[in-house]
Amino acid sequence: MSADIVVLPQPGPSRSHPVLGQVERYWDELRNGRQAPARAEVHPKGLSGALADCFILERIAPGLARVRVAGRGVAGVLGQEPRGLPFGLLFDRTTREEIEPVLERLFTGPTVADLSVTARGAGRGSSVPGEMLLLPLRDDLGGITRVLGCLKMAGTIGRAGAALTITGTRERPVPKGRALREAPRLEQEAAPSAEILRFPGPAD
């Protein structure tokens, strides 16, 4: 079944985990009134406490992207290192095609996207809900071909990983104007996990 798409007015939707709000506020500060900040402006210190759940995507074709770098939390959901893999592989086959138009509108709009997802849990028959945030970024030439993403699951995924099922998609235009307040810095959830995402350079 196709997930419902609802265009929301500003401000953005409420979220159950504060880490997604922190990531969006940091992105909003970086863009400083522009449509999107540059990939090269994203720094690990600005995402302190959220690094394990963040990732960077690169557009490779209309509606398609690959994972350039990802935190340990994202790798844990997939059950393997996601770097270099098509972004669609994070989703199950029943909803994989739904992410393509969302990405294309993000790159061309640009838009901001919030996804509600579920994945198979560690317990038999269990299901873990989660939230994903997708934010546009510019490349070195000024085109919007990168994405800053954040994925937060509300439970434990099995060691083998699990594909995500999209249960809802909320899209909204990039807000106009500058950020009104500084993004708060969250405490590190776990030092080894938080340090896995290092953003080695603009090329990534």
Taking the mean position of all CA atoms in its chain, how far away is CA 108?
Answer: 17
Query: Which pLDDT score, from 0 to 100, does residue 17 have?
Result: 79
185 in a structural domain = no
> For the chain, which residues score pLDDT lower than 70?
1-16, 121-125, 158-160, 177-204
Structural domain count of the chain:
1
64 in a structural domain = yes
Model's pTM, two decimal places? 0.80
The CATH number covering residue 159 comes to 3.30.450.20
Instruction: State the sign of the Cα–Cα–Cα–Cα dihedral 17, 51, 114, 154.
Output: negative
50 in a structural domain = yes
Task: Give residue-wise pLDDT tens across range 138-149.
Answer: 999 999 999 999
* 73/75 Cα distance (integer angstroms): 5
* 133/122 Cα distance (integer angstroms): 23
| Per-residue CA distances from 128 to 23, 55, 64, 115, 198 (Å) | 22, 20, 26, 14, 27
Query: Which pLDDT score, from 0 to 100, does residue 59 have?
Result: 97
91 in a structural domain = yes
Query: Which pLDDT score, from 0 to 100, does residue 194 have?
Result: 34
Nearest to 149 by CA among 80, 14, 59: 59
Nearest to 82 by CA among 56, 59, 63: 56
69 in a structural domain = yes
The 8-class DSSP code of residue 33 comes to T
3 in a structural domain = no
For residue 32, the enclosing domain spans: 16-174
